[in-house]
Amino acid sequence: MSRKTRVSGVGLLVLAALSAPAWAGKRDLGRDVLAPGDGWAAAGPGTTGGAAAGPHQVYVVGNRRELIAALNDGVPSSTSPANPSAAPKIIYVDGIIDANVDDANNPLGCDDYAAGTGYSLAAYLEAYDPETWGREVRPSGPLEDARIVARNRQQARVRIRIGSNTTIVGVGKEATIRGAWFDLRGASTTNRRGNIIIRNLTFEDTFDCFPAWDPLDGAAGNWNAQYDAISLRDVDNVWIDHNRFRNVTTADDLLPTHFGRKYQVHDGQIDITNTSDLVTVSWNRFERHDKLMLIGSSDSAVADRGRLRVTLHHNLFDDIGQRAPRVRFGQVHLYNNYYRIRDPANYSFSWGVGIESQIFAEGNFFFSDHAVTPDRFIAVFRGTALTTVGNLHTGVPARRPVDIVAAYNAVNDPPLGNDAGWTPTLAAGLQPAWVVPQTVLSKAGPMDW
């Protein structure tokens, strides 16, 4: 990259008016806009992100401090401001950005966040052991208060608020966001945000140092973590494309067990809730995660009616335990996704049919062995209908068409209806299911550009 200027005191690179990036002559993903017809995010005004950015709102960032400054007109801040800039901006991520760092980019660990709070995991486990605390009341008292203080310290570092009219794109295939929570959040009536593009990044190891024990969650209790890799609340027109989502140092199979339950430090990878609308999630790789994606967070959130319109297409769901996605209220179009289920012991379901959900699933491809039969692809949570068209399931010996609703109804009562009540029209690039595995495996995830 040549002819670049620095913002004084921040260190991020701002491309001057005549700057020529190192990738000059190649396709510039930062100026891309969502094509017409490419899913729900193409509806309404469409999704252009920061494509209209002037030369002094185009940044190259390589650490947390630079990223926060770029999101706020070049103004540095120790924490991510609650009202990020809405000016059109393009942010190129070059290298690895770790969110669990101090202002000097020195790494911070869980012990650093807990220091001085009075919290330790050992003391927490002793205090709230179900054998002594019981299973009828959630944790409370000084140690639970200390856990919340420590959690909030971590949250102040990992939470990155994204404003409207923003494109964030990784440079090359190795650009990585590690440990961060991208929080896309407006207000439902007064200050909605939107027109945001997030592309070509690897989101890695978004984790909570201080998950909460809830003895009332399920029959045996559960550990519940904060922080999604990306969360959407009260935002419109968002395109999440060609990213990779994975856990490496915090992978589930490396986590310990406490109180007979996995000490879960992950929440979702993408959650779309609180009246968010017009979202396309395309060409991403989701790898080895349990609860992946919520679309709608509560059965009582009736303001979500008529919203939560989301398209998921050409994504790889690789050994995902559940919620790919789990839907409430929204009209959700799932097409040409590849579901690869190679760990039957940790598989629950793929499509969660929640209250008033309207899922239209077509041209998807499921790979599993005989241990996972098509009736298990669906779980029903007060939903009543699901449209499925042209989906395939490969087991042994060969791929075969499958009526997933009929398979579910054959072993469940009451039956699920087979008409979600709408037909999608925004389905650019829709392909027959048989080409999906090769297409998705070769093209999904970050691109080298």
How many DSSP H helices and E strands does the chain contain? 7, 34
Does the pLDDT at position 24 exceed 80? no
Listed in order, strand segments (DSSP E) in 398-443 are 399-401
Does the pLDDT at position 11 exceed 80? no
Q: Which residues are catalytic?
A: 323
In terms of DSSP H, where are the helices of 16-159? 64-70, 110-114, 121-127, 130-133, 142-158
pLDDT of residue 9: 44
Three-class SS state of 415: coil
Strand partners, 199: 169, 241
Q: Please give the backbone phi and psi of residue 110, each rounded to the nearest 5 degrees, phi first.
A: -60, -40
pLDDT of residue 397: 47
In this predicted model, what pLDDT tens digit does every residue of 66-120 receive, in sequence order? 999 999 999 999 999 999 999 999 999 999 999 999 999 999 999 999 999 999 9
pLDDT of residue 187: 85
**Burial state string for 25-41 with b = 16 or more CB within 10 A and e = fewer than 16:** eeeebbbbbbeeebbbb
pLDDT of residue 15: 55
